[in-house]
Copies of this chain bind each other. A is one copy, B any other.
Amino acid sequence: MNYDEKRGLLLKGEVIADLEHLRKLFIMPDSPDKFIEFGNELLNLIHSFFQDKGGIHSAISLPELAKIFSDTNLPKYPHLLKDVLSEIKSKVIAHSVKVGNPYYIGHMTSAIPYFMILLEMIIAALNQNQVKIETAKASSFVEREFIAWIHQLVFKRTDSFYKKNIQNYKIALGNITSDGTIGNLTGLLVARNKAFAANDRFPGIRKAGFYEAMRYYKYRKAVILVSRRGHYSIDKIARTIGIGQDNVIRVPVDSMNKIDIKALQQTMGEIKQFNDANDEKIKIISIVGIAGTTETGNIDDLVELKKAADETTSHFHVDAAWGGAVLLVDDYKYMLKGIERADSVTFDAHKLLYSPLSMGMVLFRNEKDLDNIKHSSSYVLRPDSVDQGRFTVEGSRPFSCLKPWATLKIMGTEGFRLLFGLAFKHTNTIKNLVDKHENFEAMSTPELFIFTYRFVPGEIKEKLNLLMSRIEQEPDKSGAARQKVRKINNMLNTLNVELHRYLREEDNSFVSRTRLESTRYYPQKVVVLRSVTVNPLTTDEIIKEIIDEQNTLGIRIYKLHFANNFLKLS
C-alpha cells in the first residue's frame, strides 16, 4: 500500500495520493460517523486543554518550538487526517497559550463561549464570501442588520432612520472588518478623502493622489490629533494613507490617561496661528478620541473632542474597539457620552462581544460617508449592484458577523449587563487589593476593566511617598529629591521587569506589562503591570491568588537582587 512506483517505499504516515479519496474529503462523508468521531475527539481534547489551571504558556522554550516547526520540505505525500489531527494535538494545541484560562488576565484576548465553536462550523460550512451577493445571500442581510444594531447603539438616530436604512443597499452604515486596525483605517481614510474632496476643478484625492490634493488645496501639512494613549495603529495608518507618522500629533494626557483638553486647545491654537500667518495651511484631517485606551482602559472626554472637531471643521473619529460594547448596557452608556456625535467609530467583536479572533467594525453616523471610498468594477461590484464589497477596504471577507449577531440573541443585552457587571466587580477587586496592599502601588484609575499597578516593597513606598510630598510642598530647588525619585523608579522599573519575567516562568497566571509616563512621576516612564479582568470565569479568589503570588515572588526578587542597592540609594 505505502509504495510509490517512482520513489519506492513511503515514509511512516505517508499514503499514496488517490483522487477518489481526495474528492470524498470535499463532501460530508456519506455516513457522518467519522466526522462526529473526530469532532468528539477534538472536543475532549479542547476540554482537557482548558481544564488545567496553570501552565498557561506551556513550558517549552521558543528555540525548542522553533526546532519543531523547521521542516523546510513541503509534504509531498498525503497523510491520514487522524495522523494530522494528532500531530496538531501534540505539537500545536499542547503549546498554545491558554488565553481562556481564568488566571490569564493580561490581554484583551480572553475566554469565548463554547457556542462560538458551533458558529464557526456553520460559517466554514457555508463558506459565504461577503464581498458580493452572488456568494453571500442571507449573510449579506445578517451583516446589514447587525451593523444597524451597533449603529443604533452608538449614534441613536431616529427609528425611522433605521427602518429606512437597515436593509438599504444603496448606502452602508458601516463595514465589518478583519480587525480594529482596518476599522480605524477605514474611518481615517474617509476623513482624508472628505478633506480633499472632488469639486468642479479638482477630481479629488482618490483620483489625483495625495500630492496633487495637497497642492490643489494649498496645504503644507495634513495632520491627525490623538492622545499619547492612542493605539499604535493610528501611526501605522498615518504611514499607510500618506499622512506620515510625523503628522500624527500626540497630545499629552492627564493623570486619568484622558487627552488633556488644554494641551489639545494649545495645539489647535498653534495650528491656527500658523494658518493665519501662512498661505500654505495645516489641515487637521481628524481628531481621534479613544473610548477605552489599550494600556489603561480610560475614556477621552468625547464631548470636548467633538467641540474641538467642530471648531476646526475636522472629522471626529472614535476608536471604541475596546470599550464600545458597554453601550449595550443602559447603566454604562454615560461613560461614552459624546460618542453619538462622532463621525466614525471603530468597534471590535473579538474583544467585549466575546467573539473569537477576529472581527472589527467601523460605523459612520452619516449614511453617505462611506461613499467617499465607494468603488465598483465590471466583473464584481457593478455600480448598480447590492454588493457589500462596494464600500470595503478589504475584498473577500468571511461571514464573521454571524458570531456577534447570534451572541446578542443568545445573551441579550441583559446578559451583557450581568457579564459587564461581573467584570467591573473584578476590576474593583484587583484595585482594592492593590490599594490596600503595603507592597503595591496603583498606577492608573480603571474605568473599563483595565488596571495598571506595580510592585513596590513597603519600605520603598514609604520613602517615595515622603519624597513626593516633599517635592509637592516645597520647591525642590536643588532637584535632589527629584533625582532620588528618578533613581528609585529606575530600580523599580528593573524590579518589575524582572518580576514579570519570573511570573512568566512560574506560569501560574498572566498579567501583561507596559510603560506609562502619565503617573504622578511624570514625565519619567514607569514600568507597570497591567490586568484586564473580563473573563467571566475569573473570580475574586483567583485575583487574590494572583496578587499573592506576585507579592511573594516580588519580595523574593527584591531581597535577592535589589534590597542592597536600595539601601545604598537611601
Report yes or no: A410 in contact with B84, Cβ–Cβ below 8 A: yes
Report yes or no: B69 in contact with A113, Cβ–Cβ below 8 A: no
* Distance in angstroms between the alpha carbons of A70 and B160 in the assembled complex: 12
Interface segment, one of A179-187, A307-315, A549-557: A179-187
Report yes or no: B46 in contact with A358, Cβ–Cβ below 8 A: no
Report yes or no: B26 in contact with A68, Cβ–Cβ below 8 A: no
Distance in angstroms from A136 CB to nearest chain B CB is: 6
A–B complex contacts, Cβ < 8 Å, 7 sampled: A19-B419, A26-B537, A72-B166, A178-B182, A181-B393, A358-B396, A379-B515
Q: Which residues of the partner chain B approach A35 to less than 8 Å between Cβ atoms? A: 43, 114, 117-118
Q: Which residues of the partner chain B approach A115 to less than 8 Å between Cβ atoms? A: 25, 38, 81
Q: Which residues of the partner chain B approach A125 to less than 8 Å between Cβ atoms? A: 42, 46, 49-50, 117
Interface segment, one of A204-212, A258-266, A438-446, A487-495: A204-212
Given contacts A42-B118, A114-B27, A208-B244, contact A412 B356 (CB under 8 A): no
A109 interface hit (Cβ, 8 Å):
yes
Q: Mark A385-403, 1 if CB is under 8 A from B, else 0.
A: 0100000011111110010
* Distance in angstroms between the alpha carbons of A402 and B211 in the assembled complex: 42
Given contacts A36-B40, A70-B167, A129-B358, contact A137 B75 (CB under 8 A): no
Report yes or no: B112 in contact with A26, Cβ–Cβ below 8 A: yes
A99 interface hit (Cβ, 8 Å):
yes
Q: Mark A369-409, 1 if CB is under 8 A from B, else 0.
A: 00001011111110000100000011111110010001011
Q: Which residues of the partner chain B approach A358 to less than 8 Å between Cβ atoms? A: 129, 396-398
Report yes or no: B207 in contact with A210, Cβ–Cβ below 8 A: no
Q: Which residues of the partner chain B approach A414 to less than 8 Å between Cβ atoms? A: 16-17, 76-78
Q: Which residues of the partner chain B approach A530 to less than 8 Å between Cβ atoms? A: 379
Distance in angstroms from A214 CB to nearest chain B CB is: 4
A141 interface hit (Cβ, 8 Å):
yes
What 8 A-B pairs have minimum CB-CB distances, sorted nearest first? A209-B244, A242-B242, A210-B242, A379-B514, A232-B377, A95-B138, A181-B395, A178-B178
CB contact between A17 and one of B127, B159, B167, B415 (< 8 Å): that residue = B415
Report yes or no: A167 in contact with B395, Cβ–Cβ below 8 A: no
* Distance in angstroms between the alpha carbons of A422 and B21 in the assembled complex: 13
A134 interface hit (Cβ, 8 Å):
yes
Q: Mark A203-224, 1 if CB is under 8 A from B, else 0.
A: 1011111111010000101100
A235 interface hit (Cβ, 8 Å):
yes
Report yes or no: A536 in contact with B74, Cβ–Cβ below 8 A: no
* Distance in angstroms between the alpha carbons of A99 and B535 in the assembled complex: 37
Report yes or no: B58 in contact with A32, Cβ–Cβ below 8 A: no
* Distance in angstroms between the alpha carbons of A99 and B219 in the assembled complex: 49
CB contact between A536 and one of B22, B69, B348 (< 8 Å): that residue = B22
Pick from A60, A137, A402 the residue with the most CB of B within 10 Å: A137
A366 interface hit (Cβ, 8 Å):
no
In chain A between 303 and 336, which residues have their CB closer than 8 angstroms to a CB of chain B?
Answer: 328
A569 interface hit (Cβ, 8 Å):
no
Q: Which residues of the partner chain B approach A378 to less than 8 Å between Cβ atoms? A: 514-515
In chain A between 6 and 65, which residues have their CB closer than 8 angstroms to a CB of chain B?
Answer: 14, 16-19, 22-23, 25-29, 32, 35-36, 38-40, 42-44, 46-47, 49-50, 57-58, 60, 62, 65
CB contact between A242 and one of B69, B133, B241, B411 (< 8 Å): that residue = B241
A429 interface hit (Cβ, 8 Å):
no
In chain A between 215 and 246, which residues have their CB closer than 8 angstroms to a CB of chain B?
Answer: 219, 221-222, 231-233, 235-236, 238-246
